[in-house]
Structure 1
């Protein structure tokens, strides 16, 4: 059974801060790598998407049809490339309706929550968990759109180096322009 607010320390009160992804991108940069470089690049991605993204009609309709207030928790880390690509879209969708309260939590500071929402046994981020007004879990999403996960799986299967996989993945995100995230979240919102 899924946990609602309270069971894993999740509350509707003020949340933590942070940002995040799923393997291979969800793994923290290896020791000795330039974390600051990841953070700087992710900040640029986040700002670009924030400036250019406009939600499409279908997701706007899905959000407009909400029947009750929702709490959206996003588990993430600041170094995560998938989070940099996804969270600006998720934040824009949450901003469409004042009944959606988006809280962003650091995965590493909330492992008790993260461990209830593993993806394939891993702590893949970003992970979005939506709760209804009574604290019941409505849906989860993440750590990346299905098509992006399939692309990563294909590239790993063919033995592509991590840097090549990440290059292809971020090119995919740029071409997709949040449309896959929209479609997947619209499907979940509608139930």
Structure 2
């Protein structure tokens, strides 16, 4: 069991509703005399809010993902490390949240990455603190599976863009277009597969 789990930090994380309340408060904060970085951050927060709202409005978990979640027969805690300013998360966290909401044995808790860097550093992607990162645990703190920070198709797209452009902003802009055009839906299939890696033993024993 990780020490942070023993300390119940994931358990004390934000529910999805609390996370969205936190996000809403940030994006609606009255910046009387914002510096450029604060104005830019609020811009990201607002655009990402619209992105996640668009996913929620159009998304219904696939039969495969619903079946995977339904096959979870023992309690699981899904810990997600993320931040509202993350474009990947704006498209992918709704998939995780919709899936978790359909699992009676699933509890979703969200930890803000920048407040939990010691935990984040245990789940790096190629040495990077990339988000969103989902880690599923048993009640006893055994790690079941991880998923994220982006689907394989999006990851390949990012690598290609990174080779094409020198400016990081151009890479991110085109990656977000990739998601906007439906690339985020790849996350549904991958999440279902990730869940299934932890289910067979308990399912066959049922």
TM-score normalised by L of structure 2:
0.78
CA distance in 2, matches of 1:93, 1:141: 13
- More relative contact order in 1 or in 2 (CA 8 Å, sep 6+)? 1
The secondary structure found in structure 2 opposite 1:72 is strand
Higher gyration radius (CA): 2
Note the alpha carbon deviations across 1:140-191, whole angstroms, 9 max, x for none.
Answer: 1111111101101111112353333223212221333643111111111111
Structure 2 unaligned segments of length 5 or more: list them.
21-35, 198-206
CA distance in 2, matches of 1:46, 1:151: 20
Please name the residue that 1:92 is paired with.
Answer: 98
Contact 2:10–2:79, Cα closer than 8 Å, also in 1: no
Structure 1 unaligned segments of length 5 or more: list them.
20-29
In the alignment, structure 1 residue 36 sits paired with structure 2 residue 80: no
Please name the residue that 1:140 is paired with.
Answer: 146
TM-score normalised by L of structure 1:
0.84
| 1:152 alignment partner, one of 147, 154, 158 | 158
Contact 1:128–1:142, Cα closer than 8 Å, also in 2: yes
Note the alpha carbon deviations across 1:47-99, whole angstroms, 9 max, x for none.
Answer: 11112110011111111111211100111111111111111111000011121
Structure-to-structure mapping, 1:69-108, within 5 angstroms: 69-108=75-114
Please name the residue that 2:25 is paired with.
Answer: none
In the alignment, structure 1 residue 130 sits paired with structure 2 residue 128: no
Q: What CA RMSD, in Å, does the superposition of the two structures yield over aligned residues? A: 2.2
Name whichever structure is richer in helix by fraction.
Answer: 2
Please name the residue that 2:13 is paired with.
Answer: 15
Please name the residue that 2:54 is paired with.
Answer: 48
When the two structures are aligned, how many residues end up with a matched partner?
A: 179
Q: 1:4 to 1:145 in 2, by over 3 A?
A: farther
| 1:120 alignment partner, one of 126, 133, 137 | 126
